[in-house]
Structure formats: structure tokens, C-alpha cells
Structure 1
């Protein structure tokens, strides 16, 4: 009997070891040359565990946008989206998907542009839809189509995610905005040093692309299209952007556009952004294929 127990334990340990040595998810960093921006742009991409083994399989995709002064690496280095995704897939709470984060930022002190909109000297929105998205979906095995494509982001990227889904509801099944820069807040935001600097240009672009204003001014046909997207807004009770997120939710309610809203304990921090993934990724998963 003792030998049987020992043998069972040994087989169990072998199975665990084999599972660890089996196919694993991957995180890769690449770049593409942009004619629109006139420069090379980096991106970081997560490929699920089965990607290399199941070579005929295609996957839904999440475009995950970072915040101001961060880069495409932030969600992976600081948000640990790779580890969270593996955990949620293993528990059955999320489906396997490709996650890609494009670089739309960097340090202002090093002369980098920031922002997901078109602005003087930085046509990022044009780049995203005419170059980046087509490049990703032709390079990787993406299922394609609205029902298998989603967008999410934090802070500047949360506003970018909401705005992209507003302007292109035909492309995205769902949008998840975390601590989102829906409009410029009255207090707490970084202040431009002087008119015309890159932060000032970004600030003006956020005002020009206000997600709140977009809903308020939407006509009935636009509202009808916005209702085809599944919306989720997630913001901390101590976040300096909370009022702007509440205003967005209120505008959506008044327009009769379904939108889930969560206010949790926390501020504008990576602890909060990271924790949001445990709600974000299952939410997006549930809405793929619909």
C-alpha cells in the first residue's frame, strides 16, 4: 500500500512537471515602420498558450492601451497582464485571446509624443486604424470582425479606448475604460509648461475628443450604433478623474446606452489598474462572439 501511495505521488509530480514544461504563453516585443508618423513604432504582444501548438486556430483580440508617459511595455511590466491572463484562462474565467499594446507615449522630457488622437505633428489615430490594426491582424492569427475584437485601456488609454469604440462601433464588440481620461479634469491633471509644447497639444486633443461631449451630441443613429458595443467604466473613489467618469456614465444613461459602472476603493495607481484586469478580461471574454 505504501508503495502504491508513493508511486501515485511520484506520478502526480511528474504530471505537474510535464504541465510546466508544456506549451506556455508568450510575450514578444516588435515594431513596424509607420508612413503616417514617419517613424518606427513599437508594440508588445501576448500570444496564448495554444498559439504555437494549434497552428490552424485563430483568436479574438484585445487592443490594450497604456497611460500618459508610459509605453507599450507598461501593461506587461507593471500591470502583469501576462500573468493575470494565464491565471484567468486556467480558471476558466477568460477565453484565450491575443493581447496587443501599441506604443503611444514615453517621457515628455525625452521629447516623446503622447496621445491616441490625431493632432498637429502626431497623427496617431490615423496610424492606429490604417496601419497598426491591419498590420497586427494580417501578421497574427486573429479571428477578425467586430464580434471578436475589443479595446481597453487606463487613464489616457482609457479615454483612447472609449473614443475609439465611440468613433468605430463597427469594429469593437466591447470597450473597458479604467480610470479613464474622458475629458480634462479641473484639478489633478498634469499642466502644460507653455502653449504649443507636446503636453499642451495632447491636452487640447483630449478636449477636442471629449468622450462625454461625444455622447451628449450624438444623434439617434449614432446612439443606435453605440448600443452595439458593450461598455464598462471602472474608476477608483479617490481618483482625480472620477468626476469625468461619472459624467460619462450619466451621459450614457441619459442617452439610453447600456454601460456598466464600477467605483471601487482606490486611486490613480498601478495597484488599481492591475486589479481591474480581474474584471476586465472576463467581461471582454463574455462578449466575444456576440
Structure 2
């Protein structure tokens, strides 16, 4: 494996990570929905939609004009009106970071245009503290103010006793949502957010589970006998993760320092995140606190530039 250097942003403390990740997520949302980060341009687009909804209504038979003076075809217009922000998240400390970073900034978040998926899930009841969906529901989705809510796509809770059937069912859901209208080999998320555990696993892809790390065709995989936490899980595969438009790792805490050194300085070890650093080269970003980088010596950290929310340090 060659050495591929991702973007690495480091912060003195947890709160700095949460603020920057919130800006990163909102920026990804705005680029997906409006193809711009300019707040004035976004407001103009929103105003035009509110003032002339018939131009953005996919049921209309007459299309608006594009920049060349030509009428936009109905199919093209319909596509534009149906743009959604497709995001996949994992669980654990990532949920706490999203809670702290996103919830105070809900005015900038268009929840009703979000499609939320899960990069992995532990096969436990949604009421369990180990459930990624359950944790996200309690700490994020239930805290959303107002009537605008995201579409949330989670596993079928009735299938948690059969990891293969549960994985097949979630893969079918992905196929229905991403490939029903178009012929696609892999789903493309606009943003895929992952943590990284002290043992080096991401989503529910574990080091030394070579067969799963080498999987090329499946979108969703069953996991049994996981070495930590609930044994039975499902997870997105490496090809799906690497196909995302943006792949972002969020890691904090001194307990992650040893594994971060291996990921960043020993890519030949083939840890799952090192494979993603290589497979999604140019689209990978890491947000970490200084504690997590405590053992790293040969990396280049960059200063994060806020794009969509005000820099809290100013």
C-alpha cells in the first residue's frame, strides 16, 4: 500500500472538533443542495423557490429557462427539484460530536432535505445503549426543533437475530433508494461520517477480518463474532465507503493515540481506515483533537477554515 496523505485538521479540545465538524457537514449540505457556499446566493435560490414554486414543481409541464436561454427539459427540472443531501453516519462518540456541533446551529440545517443512513449497526434493540440508530435518535433526531425532519433509513429491528438477513434487507433498501431509477454499481453518499475505535475498526469493519476487507461486490455485510462490543452487526463495505463523495473521520481522545499513529505512519499495516485513505484518496478528511495525535510525529496538520458558520474562535 502506498502512502496517501489525507487532510488532517487538529484542535486543542473536543468542542473545537464539534464546531468544525458542524461547519463541514453544513458546507457539504449546501454544496449538494445549492452547488454554492455563498449565503446570499443560497438565499436568492430559496426566495425564487418560494416566490415561484411552479418553476420548481416537478408536475409542471413547462420548464424554466436556463442560463443559455434554452428551456430546461422536464426531466432535468424534475431532477433539480428532487436533490437531497444523502449522509451516512456511524455511532459512538461521533454521535456526541454531532449533538454538540449541529444542534446549536439548526437554523443553517435543512433537515427536511436530508436522507440519513447508517454506516453500520449493532444488532440489538433500538432501546439498547449499543444501538447506533437508538443513540442517534435520542441525541440528535429527537432534539430537532420545528416540523422539518429528515428521512431516516435504519435496519429492520425485527431482523436483529439474523445478521445475514438483516444485511441483505438493508442492502435492498440501499438498492431501492440509490439504484431504482438509475443503473449504479455502488451508492454514492454526499458525506460519510466515521469514527475510529482504539482497536482500529471503522463502521463495523475490523482489522484482521480480511475476507470482509477484501469484499468487492456486496454493499452491506453481516458481521459475527466482533471482537469488541455486540458480536453481531452489519456494516457498509469498503467499496461503498470509498465511493462516497466525501469521507470524513472524526476521532478524539488519548485512547486513540496509538492507533492513530499506526494509521497515519504505518499504512502498510492495512488497517481499515488506511485502506479508505488510499481508496478514497483526495476525498478523505480527518477531524481530530490533539490528544488523538499525541503519538504521531510524521504528519502535517492543517488549520481549519470555516466556510458556512462563523468561526467560534473569532
Q: TM-score, normalised by structure 2?
A: 0.34
Q: Higher relative contact order at CA 8 Å, sep ≥6: structure 1 or structure 2?
A: 2
